[in-house]
Every structure is written in C-alpha cells, then in structure tokens.
Structure 1
Amino acid sequence: MSTRSLAARPAQALTRVVVSAAYGAQGFGYAAVMTTLPTFKTRFGMSATVVSASVLLVCATAALGSLAAGAIGKRFGSRVSLSLGLAVQAVSLLAVATSNGMGMFLALMAIYGVGLGAVDAATAMQGVLVERLRGRRVLSGFFAVYTAGAIVAALVVSGAVAQQVAVAGVVGAGLLTAVVAVAGWWFFAVDEATPQPVATAETAGAEEKSLSARRGIWLFGTAILVIFTADSAVSTWSTEYLQTTLKALPAAAPLGYAAYQAVVLVTRLTGDRLSARLGRRTLVTVASIIGIAGFLLVALVHTLPAAIIGFAVVGVGVGVVVPMTFSAAGEVDPGQSDRIVSDMNTFNYIGAVIGGGIIGPLADTGMGMAWAFLVPAVLLAAMPVLARHYGTHRAVTAAQQEKVPTPVG
C-alpha cells in the first residue's frame, strides 16, 4: 500500500464520520418536524387539511431544493451544495420552532422544504462520491445512520412532549444541523475537478454519454418513486390501519410503523455486506419480492399480528433498495453523478405524495384500507424488472481504490 494511502487514512475516516453525521442530522430533523406537527396544529388552530397541505408544501419545495442542489453541485461540488443545504435547514428549523402564526409557520415550512430537498440530494451525492473514492459499498451504512437519527428524534420528541416542551426536538435538530454544516464545509468529500470538454468534431460522441445519463435518471428515478410510494404508504397509514380497521389499542397502533423502521435499520446496517456478497442486482430482486410479500400479508390476513409482521417484512424491501438505487445510479456516468442523483431524487417526493395520498381515498371507496395496500405491492412488482440495471456499470480501478476524499482546510 502506498505511503500516500496510509497517510490519508485519518482524513478518509473523518470524512466518512462527517458525511454520516449529515445523514443522521437529516433523519433527525425530518422526524422531529413530522412528529411535532400535532403540537403546531394545536398551537395555531390548524385543521387536518391545513396540516396535510403543509406536508405537501414541503414535498413541493423539496423537489426544487433537490434540483438546486444538483445545479450548485455541478458548478461548485457536492461539498458546497450539502453545506449550504444544511445551513438553510438549520436556520429554517430554528425559525419554525419559534414561529408565532400560521402564515409564518407555512412560509417557514416551505423554506425548510427547500433545505430538505437540497440535503436529500447532496447527501446522496456525497455518499456516491465517498463510495467511488473508497472503492467499496458504503451507502447502505449512511442510510442506516439516517434511519437511526429518525428513531432517536421520535424518542426525543416523545420525551419532550411529556415535559410539555415539544418544540425542543425541532430546536435540537436545528442546532445539530448547524454544527454538521460547519464541520462539513471543512471535511465533506471533494472530487477532483474535471474540465468540461469543448464541443468539436472529435467530441461528437459525447451525446451518447448524455443520453446514458438521461436514461439513468428515468430508470432509477422510477425505482425511487416506487420505493418511496411504499415507504410513504406505511409511514402515513400503518398506524391508522391498526387503530381504525383492526381496532388496536392506541398504545399498540404505532407498533406496525415501529417494526417497519426497526427492520429498515437492520437491513441498512447489513446492506453493504450483502451487496458485496450477492451483488446489487440479486439483492434488489430478492428484497423487492420480500417487500411485496409483506404487503400481501397485510392485505390478505386481517389480524393485528399479521399486520405488524407484514409491515416489518415490507421494511426489508424498502430499507435495502433505496441505498442500492443511489449506488447504482452513481455508476451510470461518474462524471455526471451529481446531476443524475439530484434529478432522480425529485422522484422521491412524487412517490411520497402518491403513497401518502392514495391509501385513504381508496379505503373510502369501500374497498377497505387493507386492500388498498395492494397498490404499493403492485408497483413493487416493477422492481425485479428494473433490477437488471443494478449491475456494476463501471469497474472500480486500482487507482480509484487508492484515492481518498480530500478534506478542505
């Protein structure tokens, strides 16, 4: 191993820690805001419709933030876009916690959405970059930190509510995000700048690469839409289903979602090793089939234990497929990975709106909420077909394995 590689190990480890912290801060912040919504609803006298509109507003502005992160990343690098996105998020979280009117709250939630989308896209860019520079799978581990951050935030907000200081979780999320933004400015991964080719007769073939990137955006963007439809369906409606349809006690109703998140965390902790052993294509195929089986169990067996187990099984598919999708997309064209990742990330919010919005209305048509969970199951059936595009697009060279993220100081 080269002297340069040995000397760079501490910087490489620090970069990975700070990027992991960005994923954790993102999960913590989003969960803190979503679990504190009932407090804001009471504080400002908002109806359930207005609360739902605020969530949709966040999804809409997040899509814009994701595209903005891609544009900034293309020009200045993902280190800059992620640091700026975290800064916007930190300020907006602290402002949301101290807002004193419904109009101000909604406006600040829109700004928070911009930061949310920017950080969603830029953390994925950084994850892809670190994975490429290290020459090994790491994205699933990063997403595991995100999930762990969300779980910790839910526990913090629960404790804060008990102490009648519910917004403390949002304030804590803002402060944590600010710290990570500052640390990240110095220690996020930096790729070596690649000059843009001049359009000449000799570079006429460059359009083929652009088409490949566009195809990657649509292929993997579709996969992200499918997976986040499933995620949003469980996140939004699992507790409601257990409590209203299966008549679970209020204390037992959240167990479906808790089981789902626990399995998501476990699969993400093991996803990188499984990917190295089985390959992304096989792993995505098997995981998505397991996810379909989970939804079928919920739809066909209308008992509390079956529903909890079913939602947990869905977590196998959702948990591992998301990081594998970003990992595969990052290899379509490493020179355009920031653009590909940011553009495909916008499909995330479309899926979130579909999953959150389709189950309830279908249940109201008379088919019942259990049968409505067949919709994300049908969409997941597309994943084994899409999985054939998850093979390694470009081999990792020995030179890439020697490269390490360069901290900026």
Structure 2
Amino acid sequence: MQSSPASTLRRAHRGVVATFALVGVVNGILAARLPGLAAKLGLDTGDVGLVILSWGVAATVTMQCMRWIVAALGNRLLLRVGTPLITVAVGLIALSSSFPLLLAAAAGFGVASGIAEAMMNAQGSLVERRAGRPLMNGFHAGWSAGAVTGGLLAVLLAALDVSYTASVLGVAAVAFPLALAVGWSYLDEPAEKEEATHRRNLPGVVYLIGVVAFLALLIEGLVADWSGLFLVRDLRTTEAVAAIAYPAYELATFSGRLFGDRLRLRYGSRSILAVAGTTTALGVLLVVLAPSAVWAIAGFGLTGLAVCVVVPLCMSLAGALAPGRPDAAIAQVSAIGYAGLLVGPVLIGFVAEATSLRIGIATAIAVALLITAASSRIPQRLPAEPEFASEAAGTPAGVGHDSSQAPRQP
C-alpha cells in the first residue's frame, strides 16, 4: 500500500533529523576525544593543525564538486552514500596507527563529510519547501543533539579510561547500520537540469550568504577542534574535564536552534544575524579572558548559543534564492561555508604556534563582528520568509491544502 503524501513527508522529516543527529554523534566524539588522539600518536599543535587541514581540504573540494554532481544524480542518492561513508571514515581514523595513516583517514573523512553535509542540507531544504514552513534550525538542532550525545559519551569513556581507539571505533560501528537504514526515508525529486552556461551564474546573494556561513563555521570549527586542547594546555585541567567543553557548546547550540525558526519569523534575517554576530564575539571574549575552566566552558556555551542560528539560516535562504537550482545553491553555500572549518582551526594552529592558543582563539572575536557587519547586506525579509508569515501569526502553514503540493520554491 502506497503511503500518503503527508505520511511520506513526516517520515522524511524524521529521517532528516535522524541523519543530522547521526552525523552530529560521530563529529561530537571526534571533537571531544581529540586530546586522546593527540596523546595516542604524540601529536603536537602543528600536527593537529595538519590533520584538520587534510580533512578540511578534502571536504571543501568535495562540496564544491557537489554543485555539479547533484545536478546529475540528485541529493537523495548522494546522501544515501555519504552518510554511511562518514561512519566508515571515522572507524579508519580510530584505527590509524601512524601520522601518515591518520592524514589519509582524515582526508577520507573530509570527502565523506563533504558529500553528507551538503546533501543533508539539500534534503532538509527540500522537506522545508514541501512543508511550507521553516524547519532548518530544527534539523540542525538534531545535529547539535547528536553532538552533545557524542561529546557526553566521550566524557564518560574518558573518565572510565576507555582508550581512544575503542571509544571512537565503537561509536562508528553502531552508527553504520543506522546510517544505512535511515536512507530509505529521504524524499526524491528530479535531478536539477542546469544549462552549462548558467552553472556559474547563481544569484549574487547566494555567494554573500556563503561568506556569512564561512565566518560562522570558522568559529564553530575553532570550538570543535581547539576547546579541549585549550582547557588542557592553557588552563591545566584534566582530559575528562576538558571533554565537557564541546558537549556544553553543542548543548547551547541545540537550545538556540530550538527557537531559531521562531526568531527568524519574528525578527527577520538581518536582525538575527546582527545579534548573533555581536553575542558570539562576547562569548569568545569570555573564553579568552577566562581565569579557569569553568569560565572558559561558560564562554564556549555563550558562543554556541549565539552562532548556532547562522548556518541553518544560510542554508535555508540558499535553497530559496535560486529558483530551479536549490540543491546547487546549497552545495555552493556549503562549499564556501565549510571552508571556514578548514581555515579556522588551521589559522588558530598557526597563530598558536607563533604566540599562544589563547591569542589564536582571540582572532575569532573579529570574525564574529564581521558577521554583524555582513548582516547589513542581507535584506530584512527575503523571499523565503513571507510564505512562512502565517505561522508567525499563529496560523500553521499548509492549513487547508495538501502540504505535499506546497510550492517547491518559496
């Protein structure tokens, strides 16, 4: 018996949330146990920076390629491949016994992440457009919930003295069959047909949104990759306490994203970005001035609470601003944005080598203020938002019509 359009949409909604959560879990345990990886292979700050560079370059190049590949294959097929590949790559990182093997595994993780991260945002945008209401912050809240789970699991395993290899490999083994199973819930739509002469001519605002995503993800990468090492090496805390920083950050992002879609409806895109950038700068400043681990963790939490709404908003708007080519627009924003995860941690690593990790982290204050500055170039209300206005007024979008027939382009 064929499912109704409404039940298919609900199943896809749950599937996208589950996908974001799975990817969040594996990223959470990788980030929180990074000091364990450094200890296992005897890595110094520069070595860690090279590992992050290997992953980041692979992810960024892959995401840029996704803009054209998705036009031929569609996001459902690519996401069904990319999500399980992430879990395989994480397992290879856990099994790496030397620095060269670790660099290769990190590059593989970057390729898998490049596919999955871009395509799960494209799938989320498709579900959002079919539903006729903003959902992207909710999907990213699933990622945050997964990252919190992975991070707290890392704290527990570190406290129990479970080895880095056993911890990360165990999570990857559990996540792999789940990633395969959830793939059958995704929505399908015809692959985008782009004329060759138009492939480089996405609307200019798409690239601006990509820059804003780049700035936000630079800060997110800083927290993910350096928070634990900062607490251990600068504030002299234990590895178990240091592992709390990342799940605390992700718990804050989860909380913020629960309200992100409502805030977007109420205040508009420009206001959300301006406040997020300024508050993020204050959070990083608290980290830099922190005299103890408690204050630093609080600063990372404030940073997460503020910056968390930026990337979901960017992905949602990208899908709305390129009629007929939402997947290509999201892939392009992903490629620009996720380069921030490459540049940020590597920049911090180089600055930390020359000065100190505290000074390196301080560079993120200027980056956050650039988000505030860039927000002035974003219209207060973009085409994606008037369609959702009924929900802000208390009338659920889609009432009185089949949500599966909602306009595919806001």
User: TM-score, normalized by length of structure 2?
Assistant: 0.81
Using a 3 Å threshold, how does the CA distance of structure 1 residues 252 and 285 change in structure 2: closer, same or farther? same
Q: After superposition, where does 1:263-342 map in structure 2 within 5 Å?
A: 263-299=252-288, 306-342=295-331
Once residues 211 and 32 of structure 2 are traced to their aligned partners in structure 1, the CA distance between those partners, rounded to angstroms, is 28
Does 1:29 find its partner at 2:3?
no
Partner of 1:381: 369
SS at match of 1:150: helix
Using a 3 Å threshold, how does the CA distance of structure 1 residues 168 and 17 change in structure 2: closer, same or farther? farther
Once residues 341 and 181 of structure 2 are traced to their aligned partners in structure 1, the CA distance between those partners, rounded to angstroms, is 30
Count of paired positions? 392
Partner of 2:15: 18
| RMSD of equivalent CA atoms | 3.5
Cα deviation, residue 84, structure 1: 1.4
Partner of 2:162: 164
Partner of 2:81: 84
SS at match of 1:122: helix
Using a 3 Å threshold, how does the CA distance of structure 1 residues 74 and 176 change in structure 2: closer, same or farther? farther
Once residues 45 and 281 of structure 2 are traced to their aligned partners in structure 1, the CA distance between those partners, rounded to angstroms, is 31
Does 1:122 find its partner at 2:116?
no
- Give the conservation status (yes or no) of the 8 Å contact 1:79–1:184: no
Query: Which stretches in structure 1 are left out of the alignment for 5+ residues?
Result: 200-205
Query: Which stretches in structure 2 are left out of the alignment for 5+ residues?
Result: 389-397
Q: Match for 1:391: what amino acid?
A: R
Partner of 1:146: 143
Q: After superposition, where does 1:86-235 map in structure 2 within 5 Å?
A: 86-99=83-96, 102-161=99-158, 162=160, 164-192=162-190, 211=201, 213-235=202-224
State the structure with more CA Rg: 1
Cα deviation, residue 320, structure 1: 1.2
Partner of 1:392: 382
Give CA-to-partner distance per residue, 1:329-348, whole Å, 9 cap, x none: 11111411111111221233
Using a 3 Å threshold, how does the CA distance of structure 1 residues 192 and 391 change in structure 2: closer, same or farther? farther
Partner of 1:403: 405
User: TM-score, normalized by length of structure 1?
Assistant: 0.82
Using a 3 Å threshold, how does the CA distance of structure 1 residues 341 and 156 change in structure 2: closer, same or farther? same
Query: What percentage of aligned pairs have identical amino acids?
Result: 25
Partner of 2:392: none
Using a 3 Å threshold, how does the CA distance of structure 1 residues 187 and 34 change in structure 2: closer, same or farther? same
Q: Match for 2:118: what amino acid?
A: A
Once residues 389 and 284 of structure 1 are traced to their aligned partners in structure 2, the CA distance between those partners, rounded to angstroms, is 11
Once residues 151 and 7 of structure 1 are traced to their aligned partners in structure 2, the CA distance between those partners, rounded to angstroms, is 34
- Give the conservation status (yes or no) of the 8 Å contact 2:16–2:123: yes
Once residues 44 and 245 of structure 1 are traced to their aligned partners in structure 2, the CA distance between those partners, rounded to angstroms, is 20
SS at match of 1:137: coil
Using a 3 Å threshold, how does the CA distance of structure 1 residues 271 and 99 change in structure 2: closer, same or farther? same
Does 1:70 find its partner at 2:58?
no
Cα deviation, residue 25, structure 1: 1.2
Once residues 78 and 174 of structure 1 are traced to their aligned partners in structure 2, the CA distance between those partners, rounded to angstroms, is 23
Q: Match for 2:364: what amino acid?
A: P
Q: Match for 1:277: what amino acid?
A: R
Q: Match for 2:365: what amino acid?
A: A
Q: Match for 2:56: what amino acid?
A: C
